[in-house]
């Protein structure tokens, strides 16, 4: 008798890259450069202003330094190249020409034979500037109280508004006029850095044989990088090869920042016809690369006197920074403006507005944290207004199967709607009904909760994934994909999905690292889309091969109908006849000799969605739901806030690998705590005031409590084996839960984060009537 098959789905299989990373054996981009003697080293000169005209640039002293191969300004760019790059619009110049509009606009670049020479030479470049007014507040720019940030922008023209999104359905004015309770509040969330461990880095190597270029850099999107860089490199996309090296942290930022370093290194490499290495310093990463968008949210909420939410009326302004980058934040803050609650009428308007700041780019959560901060704060304020328990209020309003959120999209039970279970489990784990110990003297304790939802995928078309599955004649399998391992567990998840689909043990499956020349377009590794979209593509490709090999075995080897043949544990056999079992490798070798293809393309697209006639919109095919609970201690004499407990329950559909799911949940909680209590960039006249880890604080192990995770599984019929994404959802609800716990401890609502001691003390000192 053959032993029963043990499913790979749900097993805690160790990530294949784990040991190499923790022992230091994994080679990051900087490691690859150490032993190469053929590299030139690049440096860029950045301006000391956030907005200024360039009057003159003198590079003569830098050019005279021995060992300098080339110095370039905008006038030195090849005529066949454009001076712009970017994921959606090529709006960011590799070299500023007439003026700079933020501190990250390079005015000159150079390449030298070693780093010391490059650093010396770049310091000798002399630039004369005429400072211009720099604009820090997008609200002023939106009201046209400021001058133009861009003139003739490729998508926004002469407007300071990069992108706007809106929805208006239901009789908002009537609902608010007749509601029992109306809450009208303003909320602010900060611009913050991704704070990934590895600085932005690239090796650009010209192809002297065919005239192209190969870019080695840590990537979110190897195929998108070709599109982003083709103009500035002056090459067709087909001649640009992008290989992702091991990624030392990204969190969305390296969807763009790798283009910044690749554009500079690439231009220099093509000009010198030599490979060029470029790594930014930590200060350059802080000043020049993309950030989480600061948000200013005016949120109005109407309810009846039982706590039932009737409508929301929301106006959001988003700090876009200097360039467009990924401009999905208005759409995302619109989508999540009402949180995971049943709301039948809404008016939401959201606008991303240019400033002289670092460009706002993708950052874990992509607008959902900002929007959820506002609605989850409102929920506790509504509970306080009505004298209701905050969890009971949420249970009264949360979406269940068949309910619609404020955009009109109906939640489908068959796609996993486990929010109620998440909330109840978080409540139990937090011991919600037990009053917090009020501490000693000035120290007060409180508990807070928040609910959230997060759509799987970009929510726009096209949003699909493709991969190549190739069987080898020894029964092993290669999976070629352009999605990337960012630390989230992609490699092991795809192994488990492919292994389960092909009945092959994980040790026989190799997921090839992301390389644009051996993978297919699959979108960026963002938006918690990879497990579902790429997982489905892998599943589809594996199913094609399985059907192919079963057909061959049935017709050419066993001489039976295909329904009589099965596969399990690297074997192919006739059902009920274990003595017929052959190894998969033997069957594949036989298929190869019979000219049966050994590879297949797997593809998957989520259902397309369109706006409806009543201005409502189904945007996402599925959502991850969750609830978090925290307990805090506040020192009312110093404003210091300590997180005592942090609990997160997430409905992930199906945990392909519970260990990596828990890792994502813990990491998201840690980042959410940082965003909630300490992280914030300070800008003044377009210049960054805190640009080191000495003055831009992120949580250390000493700042974190035990991070408690609860996996909830309500299967998603559209996901591989029921799975949904988990990369971004864990960060979404942490900050408002902390803020709500602060209120429970002190009776004071604070509507801006981070909840630093200064901000907490300012709130505590306000007269009661001014709070």
Is beta strand 40-45 parallel, antiparallel or unpaired with respect to 108-112?
antiparallel
Higher pLDDT, 464 or 390: 390
Other residues' Cβ atoms within 10 Å of the Cβ of residue 503: 19
- Binned at pLDDT 50, 70 and 90, residue 235 comes out as very high
SS3 1: coil
Residue 277: the pLDDT is: 98
Residues of the chain with CATH 3.90.1170.50: 38-132+195-288
Residue 6: the pLDDT is: 84
Q: Are 701 and 417 in contact (CB under 8 A)?
A: no
Residue 768: the pLDDT is: 63
Taking only the tens place, the pLDDT of each residue in 73-100 is 999 998 878 899 998 899 999 999 999 9
- Side-chain half-sphere CA neighbours of 461 within 13 A: 8
Q: Are 606 and 465 in contact (CB under 8 A)?
A: no
How much is the average pLDDT of 193-222?
96
- Binned at pLDDT 50, 70 and 90, residue 769 comes out as low
User: Tokens 């709500």 belong to which residue?
Assistant: 740
Provide the CATH number for the domain formed by 295-459+612-770 in this structure: 3.30.365.10
How much is the average pLDDT of 626-633?
98
- Binned at pLDDT 50, 70 and 90, residue 229 comes out as very high
Tell whether omega for the bond before 462 is within 30 degrees of 0, i.e. cis: yes
| Residue 510 φ/ψ region, left for φ over 0, alpha for ψ in the -120 to 50 degree band, beta for the rest | beta
How much is the average pLDDT of 275-286?
98
CA distances from 493 to 497, 560, 659, 715, 718 (A): 6, 34, 11, 17, 17
**Lowest-confidence range among 74-83, 497-506, 539-548?**
74-83
Other residues' Cβ atoms within 10 Å of the Cβ of residue 548: 18
Per CATH, is 464-604 categorized as 3.30.365.10? yes
Instruction: Return the CATH class of domain 38-132+195-288.
Output: alpha beta
Residue 579's Cβ-count burial label (10 Å; 0-12, 13-18, 19+) is exposed
Taking only the tens place, the pLDDT of each residue in 144-189 is 777 788 988 988 888 999 999 999 999 999 999 999 999 999 999 9
How much is the average pLDDT of 660-665?
96
> Cα 461 from chain centroid?
18
- Binned at pLDDT 50, 70 and 90, residue 222 comes out as very high
Taking only the tens place, the pLDDT of each residue in 614-626 is 777 788 999 999 9
What rounded mean pLDDT belongs to the chain? 94
How much is the average pLDDT of 288-294?
97
- Binned at pLDDT 50, 70 and 90, residue 271 comes out as very high
Helix axes 535-552, 490-502, angle to 10 degrees: 30
Q: Are 761 and 442 in contact (CB under 8 A)?
A: no
Q: Are 260 and 228 in contact (CB under 8 A)?
A: no
Q: How far apart are alpha carbons 378 and 675 in whole angstroms?
A: 19
Residues of the chain with CATH 3.30.365.10: 295-459+612-770, 464-604
- Spatial neighbors of 251 by CB under 8 A, at least 6 apart, are 194, 196, 363, 364, 486, 671
How much is the average pLDDT of 22-40?
94
Residue 771: the pLDDT is: 56
Tell whether omega for the bond before 5 is within 30 degrees of 0, i.e. cis: no
Residue 3: the pLDDT is: 61
Is pLDDT above 90 for 2?
no
Percent with pLDDT over 90 in the chain: 88
Q: Closest by alpha carbon to 470, among 497, 505, 498?
A: 498
């Amino acid at each position: 008798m053959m032993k029963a098959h043990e499913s790979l789905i749900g097993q805690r299989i160790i990530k294949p890259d784990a040991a190499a990373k923790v022992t230091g054996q994994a080679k990051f981009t900087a490691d690859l450069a150490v032993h190469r003697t053929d590299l030139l080293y690049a440096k860029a000169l950045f301006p000391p202003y956030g907005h200024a005209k360039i009057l003159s640039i003198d590079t003569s002293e830098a050019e005279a330094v021995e060992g300098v191969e080339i110095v370039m300004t905008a006038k030195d760019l090849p005529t066949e190249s454009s001076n712009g790059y970017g994921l959606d619009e090529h709006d960011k110049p590799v070299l500023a020409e007439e003026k700079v509009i933020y501190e990250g606009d390079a005015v000159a670049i150079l390449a030298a034979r070693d780093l010391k020479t490059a650093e010396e030479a770049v310091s000798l470049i002399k630039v004369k500037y005429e400072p211009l007014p720099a604009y820090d507040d997008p609200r002023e720019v939106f009201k046209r109280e400021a001058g133009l940030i861009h003139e003739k922008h490729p998508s926004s023209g002469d407007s300071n508004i990069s992108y706007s999104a809106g929805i208006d359905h239901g009789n908002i004015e009537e609902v608010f006029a007749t509601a029992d309770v109306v809450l009208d509040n303003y909320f602010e969330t900060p611009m913050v850095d991704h704070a990934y461990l590895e600085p932005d880095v690239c090796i650009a190597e010209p192809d002297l044989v065919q005239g192209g270029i190969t870019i080695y850099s840590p990537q979110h999107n190897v195929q998108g990088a070709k599109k982003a860089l083709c103009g500035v490199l002056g090459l067709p996309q087909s001649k640009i090869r992008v290989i992702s090296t091991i990624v030392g942290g990204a969190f969305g930022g390296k969807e763009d920042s790798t283009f910044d370093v690749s554009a500079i290194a690439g231009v220099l490499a093509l000009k010198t016809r030599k490979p060029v290495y470029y790594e930014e310093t930590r200060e350059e990463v802080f000043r020049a690369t993309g950030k989480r968008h600061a948000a200013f949210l005016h949120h109005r909420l109407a309810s009846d006197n039982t706590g039932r939410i009737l409508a929301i009326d929301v106006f959001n302004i988003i700090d876009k920074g200097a360039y467009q980058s990924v401009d999905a934040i208005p759409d995302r803050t619109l989508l999540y403006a009402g949180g995971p609650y049943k709301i039948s009428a809404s008016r939401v308007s959201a606008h991303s507005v240019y400033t002289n700041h670092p460009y706002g780019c993708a950052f874990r959560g992509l607008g959902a944290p900002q929007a959820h901060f506002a609605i989850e704060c409102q929920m506790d304020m509504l509970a306080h207004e009505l004298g209701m328990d905050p969890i009971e209020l949420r249970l009264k309003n949360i979406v269940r199967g068949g309910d619609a959120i404020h955009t009109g999209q109906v939640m489908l039970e068959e796609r996993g709607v486990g929010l109620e279970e998440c909330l109840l489990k978080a409540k139990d784990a937090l011991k919600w009904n037990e009053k917090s110990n009020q501490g000693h003297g000035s120290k007060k304790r409180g508990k807070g909760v928040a609910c959230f939802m997060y759509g799987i995928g970009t929510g726009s078309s096209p949003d699909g994934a493709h991969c190549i599955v190739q069987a080898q004649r020894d029964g092993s399998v290669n999976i070629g994909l352009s999605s990337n391992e960012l630390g989230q567990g992609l490699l092991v998840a795809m192994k488990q999905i492919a292994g389960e689909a092909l009945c092959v043990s994980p040790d026989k499956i190799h997921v090839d690292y992301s390389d644009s020349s051996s993978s297919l377009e699959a979108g960026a590794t963002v938006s918690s889309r990879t497990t579902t979209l790429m997982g489905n593509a892998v599943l589809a490709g594996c199913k094609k091969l399985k059907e192919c090999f079963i057909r061959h075995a049935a017709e050419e080897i066993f001489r039976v109908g295909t329904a009589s043949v099965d596969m399990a544990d690297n074997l192919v056999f006739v059902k009920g006849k274990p003595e017929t079992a052959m190894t998969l490798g033997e069957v594949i070798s036989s298929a190869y000799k019979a000219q049966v293809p050994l590879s297949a393309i797997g593809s998957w697209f989520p259902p397309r969605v369109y706006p409806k006639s009543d201005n409502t919109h189904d945007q996402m095919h599925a959502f991850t739901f969750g609830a978090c609970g925290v307990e805090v201690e506040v020192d009312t004499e110093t404003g210091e806030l300590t997180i005592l407990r942090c609990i997160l329950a997430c409905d992930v559909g199906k945990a392909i690998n519970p260990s990596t799911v828990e890792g994502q949940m813990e990491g998201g909680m840690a980042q959410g705590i940082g965003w909630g209590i300490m992280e914030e960039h300070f800008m003044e006249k377009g210049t960054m005031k805190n640009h080191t880890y000495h003055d831009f604080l992120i949580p250390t192990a000493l700042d974190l409590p035990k991070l408690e995770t609860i996996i909830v599984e309500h299967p998603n019929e559209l996901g591989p084996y029921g799975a949904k994404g988990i990369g971004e959802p864990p960060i979404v609800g942490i900050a408002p839960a902390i803020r709500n716990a602060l209120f429970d401890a002190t009776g004071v609502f604070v509507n801006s984060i981070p909840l630093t001691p200064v901000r907490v003390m300012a709130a505590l000192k306000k007269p009661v009537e001014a709070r």
